[in-house]
Amino acid sequence: MMKNALPWKPNKGPRTQSGVAMLTVIFMFAIATVIIANIIMKLDVDIDRHSSVMQHAQAWQYALSGEEWARQTLYEDILASREVDHRNEDWANTSEKFDVEGGYLEIEITDMQGLFNLNSLVNTEGIADVPAVNAFKRLLSVVEVEPALVSTLPNLLKDWQDKDHLSGTERDDYLSLEPSYRPPDDAMASISEMRLLKDLSKKEYQELRQKLFPFVTVLPRGTALNINTAPPEVIASLKNGVSLVNAKGIVDNIESYSKGISIAQFNNMMNWQNQSPPFTLDVKTGYFRVNVRARFLDTYAFLSSVLKRDPKNGEITLVSRDKGQRFIFYYSQGFVDSEPDIFDIDL
Ligand SMILES: [Ca+2]
Ligand SMILES: [Ca+2]
């Protein structure tokens, strides 16, 4: 007779223990693999980030060197002659492009005193300057902004700067906005302040950016207009009845003089008759804008600087640096296709 078989018991011998050990090793290996993969990914991100920061730092250094180049060019200009600044001089013949290691550098110098100074709309006593306001209306017509803006914008800008808010309502109008703010009742520091004008829509501002901004600037009140560098749009704003076509003829005439013209020659060309210039006129300049666009590998740096040049000793002072502007030089249009987004700025 067979004895009853013993119940089956799992084998807890050495073979089972080695299986558990193997599973543990595989599990540990899997965890180690995940950790290492994470470290490698993080290192990759860190390397990308640092490489991007280094590229931008290099592009920025290139941009600063562009500003320095402009400073030297303007200093050499005044050493050559202190009497006149005109479009046939070296500094004005910029739009330079330099190849540098790993990229390139583009520089453009413009005479800010050839542009319409928005701060001239109000005089140093804080009162509207009527001839300048009328000239501004003509400029708005010449650049063909919407007729509604031609009638409203001069007053909005005048109120923004003048000190008569106690008798006007503009302060309350601005204080009732959400969020509320006050008009400065003083000279403008940037033409972008126009974005803060009440009743000026985003669409209207964008229209102004496109049509008006190339011809306006903000400079200290009383700064003279350099007639040798003023574009036709600004020349047409100076006198009633001067069309853009007339003004282009005058500018062509000015440019035909290889060393610029005098105020007397300009007065002859303008034939003021019973009118007079709305601004003080000059043939030389103290304020220049330097735009630099620098590329290093895949990174761009933009710099827009204002330089002030002392007419006596040629000493050049940095007035401002703006890294937030995006611009394109006319000769660059063929090779900016790879970065269209940077020019699509939402304001
Ligand atoms: Ca000069
Ligand atoms: Ca005011």
Domains along the chain with CATH numbers: 50-83+97-107+297-343 (no CATH), 114-282 (1.10.40.60)
What is the CA(162)–ligand 2 centre distance, in A? Answer: 4
What is the CA(284)–ligand 1 centre distance, in A? Answer: 7
State pLDDT tens for residues 315-336. Answer: 999 999 998 877 766 555 444 4
What is the CA(55)–ligand 2 centre distance, in A? Answer: 46
Closest-lying ligand to the alpha carbon of 260? Answer: 1
Specify the pLDDT at position 166: 57
Residue 37 buriedness (CB in 10 A; 0-12 / 13-18 / 19+): exposed
State pLDDT tens for residues 220-242. Answer: 999 999 999 999 999 999 999 99
State pLDDT tens for residues 243-296. Answer: 999 999 999 999 999 999 999 999 999 999 999 999 999 999 999 999 999 999
Closest-lying ligand to the alpha carbon of 113? Answer: 1
The count of other CB atoms within 10 Å of the CB of residue 128 is 17
What is the CA(240)–ligand 2 centre distance, in A? Answer: 27
How far is residue 257's CA from residue 108's CA, in Å, rounded to a whole number?
Answer: 22
Single-letter amino acid, residue 3: K
What is the CA(219)–ligand 2 centre distance, in A? Answer: 18
Closest-lying ligand to the alpha carbon of 159? Answer: 2
How far is residue 256's CA from residue 14's CA, in Å, rounded to a whole number?
Answer: 104
Closest-lying ligand to the alpha carbon of 165? Answer: 2
Q: Which residues lie at CB < 5 A from ion ligand 1?
A: 77, 85, 89
What is the CA(278)–ligand 1 centre distance, in A? Answer: 24
Instruction: Tell me what the mean pLDDT of segment 138-164 comes to.
Output: 92
Closest-lying ligand to the alpha carbon of 259? Answer: 1
Mean pLDDT of the chain, nearest integer: 87
> Which of 238, 47, 275 has the alpha carbon at shortest distance from 132?
238
What is the CA(22)–ligand 1 centre distance, in A? Answer: 85
State pLDDT tens for residues 15-26. Answer: 667 788 888 888
Read off the pTM: 0.82
